[in-house]
Amino acid sequence: MKTGKQKHMHGRNLCLAIVTAAMLLMGAYGCGSGEDSENGMENGKSAECVSVDLAEVKTEDLEEIIRGIGSTEAFQSVVVYPEINGTIESVHFDEGQQVEKGKLLFTLDDARIQAELDARQAALEEAEANRENAHLVFDRRQRLYEQNLGTEEARDEARTRYQSMVAQVKRLQAEIRNIRETMDDTRIRAPFDGTLGEHMVDPGQVVDTNTVLTSIVETQRLKIAFTAPERHMARIKTGQELRIMTPAYAEKTFPGTIYFIDPRISAATRSLKIKARMDNPDNMLRPGGFVSVELIAAIRDNVLIIPEEALIPTRTGYMVFTIKNGKARGREVEIGLRKPGIVEITSGLENGEPIVRAGHISLYEGAQVCGE
């Protein structure tokens, strides 16, 4: 007969025996199919590929571009003032009108000036008649003096009167020229081809030489004023062409040519002020607008390029996944110029090599890949 302690030991041994048998059974199944399991994992891994987008390394000519920002300026712009005091008689243009050089803009009342001119012209006619008469008297007395029939005093008196009349005629002629110039100043004309601003005065208004009449801006041509970093100074020359972009025409570029480079560098920004000319025949752009510019400093021929999204940043630089025998292989690369969407590769890749453009998130070294 077994004691309670013996019964307890017997039950414990039975449990251990069952657990051991179960483990042995599992081990037997494992040992018996171990090689097949390992092969199955490998086959499973090779059968499942990582889906990626592929691209090829290509060659292309790349422009080295210096970028800057600036603004449009009027090629010519003036505020129009009267040259004399007077009263506005007529306004001869509409606000915003395109005009040519010499176009009549304003007329001042010229009645007072015309009356003064008429008086001076009458005085001139009288003075010219007196001059001719004095000349005849002088000639006659000169002949009498040469024949010893007249006195020297009489001759000199006639000569003095004649010279006085000549001087008076010259003075009146000069006064008439000045009056006519003043008369011309009552006709205010456009100094160059351009677009007129608003009317600042109306007919009947009394103005003086400090009164603003209007403004005129040349918009058929524009200046582009922008800055570039000091480090590009040696690569910027007058006569270079550039591209001009503005937010108003996001899909369009305008050509320009550099005509001015400031001889000084800004001490505050260490930048160089540059000006370019551009044609604006349709008045698409207006003075005072924001622009960005691209100056083509050089063209690099047949450089290797890849899609920018193919680059993977690392601690030491960049890498790219290439494809060899259907598997992904990481490759360190060095880059050069970058443009929107593409990047130059200076070392690490060869022309025509397949690379992974997108799908890196699931990719690893040696992974089987599938993609287009």
To the nearest 10 degrees (0 to 180), the angle between helices 152-185 and 111-146 is: 160
> pLDDT digits over 303-313, tens only?
899 999 999 99
- Shared fold status for 50-62+301-371 and 67-73+219-300: no
Interval 340-357: pLDDT, tens: 888 999 999 999 999 999
β-strand pairing of 50-56 with 369-371:
parallel
Q: Mean pLDDT for the chain?
A: 85
The amino acid present at 209, given as its one-letter code, is: T
Alpha-carbon torsion (82, 88, 92, 95), positive or negative? positive
The closest alpha carbon to 360, from 330, 338, 340, belongs to 330
The yes-or-no verdict on residue 175 having pLDDT over 70 is yes
Nearest to 320 by CA among 328, 309, 310, 335: 310
**What gap in Å lies between CA 73 and CA 289, rounded to an integer?**
8
Residue that wins the pLDDT comparison between 370 and 255: 255
Q: Give the CA distances from residue 109 to residues 37, 176, 191, 199, 207, in Å, rounded to whole numbers and listed in that order.
A: 111, 18, 21, 18, 11
How far is residue 248's CA from residue 288's CA, in Å, rounded to a whole number?
13
pTM of the full structure: 0.60
Q: What is the mean pLDDT of residues 154-181?
A: 94
**Greater confidence, 133 or 42?**
133
Q: Quote the tokens at residue 232.
A: 């590009």
In terms of pLDDT, which residue wins out, 70 or 35? 70
Every domain of the chain and the residues it spans: 50-62+301-371, 67-73+219-300, 82-106+191-212, 110-185
b vs e for 104-128, b when ≥16 Cβ sit within 10 Å of the residue's Cβ? Answer: ebbbbbbeebeebbeebeebbeebb
pLDDT band of residue 21 (cuts 50, 70, 90) is very low
Question: Which residues does 329 contact at the CB level (< 8 Å), separation at least 6?
Answer: 321, 322, 323, 365, 366
Q: How far apart are CA 219 and CA 283, in angstroms?
A: 6
pLDDT of residue 372: 64
Q: Is the pLDDT of residue 159 over 80?
A: yes
CATH superfamily of 67-73+219-300: Efflux pump adaptor protein, beta barrel domain (2.40.30.170)
Place of tokens 């677009």: 195
Residue 15 is predicted with a pLDDT of: 38
* Assigned CATH for 50-62+301-371: 2.40.420.20
Q: Which of 253, 276, 334, 336 is nearest to 63 (CA)?
A: 336
Give dist(CA 208, CA 190) in Å, integer. 18
Secondary structure (3-state) at 365? coil
- Evaluate if residue 28 carries a pLDDT over 90: no
Encoding tokens for residue 83?
A: 């040259």
Stated as kind and residue range, the H or E segment containing 247 is: none
> Would the pLDDT of 267 be above 60?
yes
**Amino acid type, 244:** I
Residue 239 is predicted with a pLDDT of 92
Across residues 186-200, what is the average pLDDT? 94
Q: Pick from 64, 62, 66: which is nearest to 295 by CA? A: 66
Which tokens hold the place of 270? 């260490």
Tens of pLDDT along 195-251? 999 999 999 999 999 999 999 999 889 999 999 988 888 889 999 999 999 998 988
Question: In the numeric block, which tokens belong to residue 34?
Answer: 């171990």
- Give the C-alpha separation, 175 to 122, whole Å: 12
Look at 46 and 205; give whichever has higher pLDDT.
205
